[in-house]
Amino acid sequence: MKLIETFGLRALHRLDPEQAHDLSIKALRAGLVPLPGAPVTSGRLKTSLAGLDLPNPVGLAAGYDKNARTLPALMRAGFGFVECGAATPRPQPGNPRPRLFRLTEDRAIINRFGFNNDGVAAISERMGARPAGIPVGLNIGANKDSKDRAADFAEVVRVAGAHADFLTVNVSSPNTEKLRDLQGADALAALLQGVIEARDALPAHRPVFLKIAPDLDDAGLADIAQVARQTGIDAIIATNTTLSRDGLRSEHAPEAGGMSGRPLFERSTRVLAKLYRLTGGHIPLIGVGGIGSVDDAWQKLRAGASAVQLYSALIYSGFSLATEIAQGLDERAGREGLTCLSQLTGTGAEDWL
């Protein structure tokens, strides 16, 4: 399977990045991508996250399957949970192409998609038709031309919330103008209150997560932690892409957009550790940013994460990376004498402060 994946990745990397992404979606839908089937699991790997039972703590971040077109396949790709989207109330094309760039020598990507998606009605229908299996969440956003972005988030919850196992409020994408302004304490509290009210009107409870930017200063992180406690959100995802270009070598480094991949690891992990300290470990955290190996995932857990998500590294390593990381975490936890990975969470947070 790994050999087939290697040749497939080489072929995709000969194409324009967005063409390659679209082709990978088509290949998944057609059943042409080798997948492991059931996710790796064990007593050590099983994770409870905000009331969700995960077979392992290695998830797929939002952004790969924006329109929920490949959920049956992704649910068999080795992940312990999957997040699709972002969905907005109305369909929108996003920003002009080109808007996705591979920074191969940096093992990174830059994107400025701008919440391109089919709209929440279509996405909700596809989510509702998925098979039973691992938890699947929906990343929610606002339309670019919306006059009331907070209302947009609540509308997505009303339309699609019943078909999602969790809902992620995305106020951290750098590709929609002024979206990150919603991370301010007052604006964020009002937005989250509207989302939670919409969630509470659903037939069954759905946990609400908040995805934050890695570029917040210490005061901004403190505000996030305070609002999270006040509103009672269920988890924080740290982090989205960065506007920083520190240390990049690629000719594409000057491109506008959010950068993700290996160079984001230290910045995002430091934010994660700070949040763990600010929340006292009482709000579950999901570590995202630069994870490309078992050790990277291990470090995220030590910094304060209860689970992790992958995306950019899959462009260079393929879907088999999810199973590789889950198996590696299980083996390392066994060697360390842990009975569950939750015993690792936060044990190394001070190393990043």
pLDDT(328) > 90: yes
Q: Decide if 209 is inside a domain.
A: yes
Reported as a single tens digit per residue, the pLDDT across 141-159 is 999 999 999 999 999 999 9
- pLDDT for residue 97 is more than 70: yes
Question: 20: how many CB neighbours lie within 10 A of its CB?
Answer: 18
Query: Looking at the domain assignment, is residue 26 inside a domain?
Result: no
173-210 per-position pLDDT tens digit: 887 877 788 888 899 999 999 999 999 999 999 999 99
Bridge-based pairing of strands 136-140 and 81-87 is parallel
What tokens does 99 get?
């808007």
Question: Are the C-beta atoms of 276 and 303 separated by less than 8 Å?
Answer: yes
Select the more confidently predicted residue: 2 or 264.
264
In a domain, 47, yes or no: yes
Q: Which pLDDT score is estimated for 179?
A: 77
Q: Which of 173, 260, 268, 320 is catalytic?
A: 173
Q: Structural domain tally of the chain?
A: 1
Q: Is position 4 within any domain?
A: no
Average pLDDT value over all residues in the chain: 96
Tokens of 115: 């919440």
Give the range of the structural domain holding residue 346, as residue numbers without chain letter. Answer: 37-352
Tell me if 315 sits within 8 A of 109, measured CB to CB.
yes
User: CB-side exposure of 13: number of CA atoms within 13 Å?
Assistant: 17
Residue 140 included in any domain: yes
Task: Respond yes or no: is residue 173 known to be catalytic.
Answer: yes
In a domain, 32, yes or no: no
Does residue 9 sit within a domain? no
Domain of 325: which CATH number?
Answer: 3.20.20.70
What's the confidence (pLDDT) of residue 173?
Answer: 85
* Helical axes 17-29 vs 2-12, angle rounded to 10°: 140
Lowest mean pLDDT among 59-63, 127-131, 186-190: 186-190
Fill in the amino acid letter for 109: I
User: Given this model, what pLDDT does residue 25 score?
Assistant: 98
Residue 1: pLDDT over 70 = no
- Averaged pLDDT, 54-71: 98
Task: Tell me whether residue 319 is in a domain.
Answer: yes
